[in-house]
Chain A
């Protein structure tokens, strides 16, 4: 069986975490494209600039604690985008946070599928793509 290809977007202010995510995603062999952003507003601009494309899904990994625009603010802004864009994305919040408020807040967002603990490993990425 040939697995469907996926687009990936990583939003994390840590260069190292972006690098790790990119490597792990590349190793899965199912990525059509991988883009990472150190600044959440730039990721938002990028998503806005793309035409809605129902032929491919985009998996988005978003960190919580980022300066300027944090992960929750990013998701809130993302959810305001037109449906023909947002319906092609699946968001995972990925964070080092062990704060209960952060964890429970994740459920408030319809576009967020799950909370993941850092660090991202090939195993837990495989689990969520299965």
Chain B
């Protein structure tokens, strides 16, 4: 059974008796680390990044508790600091609180109840602070993405719309039916591009907000489903499609994510072909072994130049002006793989082709 994690407390005092007494009293309720000097205290702080509360005696031979707190708080800002001292002089306590960012002051001799309530309070403060830091980080990354979205909307949404407007204006005065047909086809392409952007945005939000739903994945069926969609859409015309799936074991994963990953990789492989190439092909190989799915998607298309290869998973980055692209596809792939603890590698040669290797660990059976 999972017990709630014990609060980790570090107590520093130069008197061994105090340390022993403290540990004996509180070891059942808290994880207690003790240090007889500053060196030992630093050793604990370095090897236990999850210490949430530090209690330190004020009067120690090398340096005072306040001096220690002042010096350590830059390197270890998270733990909540509390000073223990028999020194009841109010001036020095005020000074200590002001200078050392000390959360609370505990008077010697302490009672168990004093310490217990101080630790509980300090831990609440610690949890709130660390949660705030994590939330701020999340917020910052959400803001950054929002900024990128706002900028891309003007190009990726407004761009095709303005193209269509311009084409409409032109078409009004066109007499030649053949010319009119050409421009209608180009308008259609612009609308498809816009639609693709919207679908990718939807995918992005589904991925971001949605929880993973683990189910048994049959890769043969997944590949069959996706291939059928590409075939119906005419994307496979003049391109040879080779698929090979080896799966003998049950594999648990999130089907929406898996399909999205394969769909994006295959879509890129079909899209970025060399127009003049004689034998265009796209191949997908999937092997499931030892509860790991290895997916290889390969094409002999235009390839990716080495100066762009490190950026292809960046949001809204587009390495090519060929074909339609939203700059969201591979970003979504990477995001989904991060959620599944998977990995992706890419190898590419310009005008020879691109190979993506994906590794996805399956969810272990019987766990939640």
Give A contacts to B, CB under 8 Å: 13-17, 19-20, 23-24, 38-39, 65-68, 96-99, 118-121
Contact = CB atoms under 8 A, between A and B. Distances in A.
B1 to A, nearest CB: 55
Given A19-B183, A67-B319, A96-B155, A121 B189 contact: no
22 contacts: A13-B321, A14-B160, A14-B190, A16-B163, A16-B164, A16-B166, A16-B167, A16-B189, A19-B182, A20-B170, A65-B159, A68-B308, A96-B158, A99-B154, A118-B159, A118-B162, A118-B163, A118-B166, A119-B163, A119-B165, A119-B166, A121-B166
Name the prevailing secondary structure of the B interface residues. helix
B169 interface: yes
A90 B189 CA distance: 31
Nearest to A101: B151
A120 B308 CA distance: 31
Given A14-B159, A96-B155, 13 more contacts: A13-B321, A14-B190, A16-B166, A16-B189, A17-B163, A20-B170, A65-B159, A67-B319, A67-B321, A96-B159, A98-B158, A99-B151, A118-B162
A122 to B, nearest CB: 8
A67 B318 contact: yes
Contact of A68 (B170, B182, B190, B320): B320
B228 interface: no
A65 B321 contact: no
Contacts of A68: 308, 318-321
A15 B187 CA distance: 10
A38 B160 CA distance: 15
Which among B167, B170, B189, B318 has the greatest number of chain A C-beta atoms within 10 A?
A: B170
B186 interface: yes
A77 B238 CA distance: 38
Nearest to B163: A16
Interface of B: 151, 154-155, 158-167, 169-170, 182-183, 186-187, 189-190, 308, 318-321, 325
Nearest to A123: B169
Contacts of B170: 20, 23-24
A97 B186 contact: no
Nearest to A97: B154
Which among A19, A20, A65 has the greatest number of chain B C-beta atoms within 10 A?
A: A20
Contacts of A16: 163-164, 166-167, 186-187, 189-190
Given A16-B186, A16-B190, A39 B321 contact: yes
Contacts of B155: 65, 96-97
A49 B332 CA distance: 41
Contacts of A66: 321
B158 to A, nearest CB: 4
B363 to A, nearest CB: 37
A20 B163 contact: yes
A67 B151 CA distance: 15
Given A96-B154, A97-B155, A17 B189 contact: no
A119 B189 contact: no
B276 to A, nearest CB: 16
A121 B162 CA distance: 11
A15 B189 contact: yes
B167 A20 contact: yes
A38 to B, nearest CB: 5
A117 to B, nearest CB: 8
A121 B167 CA distance: 9
Nearest to A37: B321
A99 B151 CA distance: 7
B252 to A, nearest CB: 38
A69 B320 CA distance: 9
Contacts of A97: 154-155
A38 B308 CA distance: 18
Contacts of B190: 14, 16
Contacts of B320: 67-68
Contacts of A23: 170
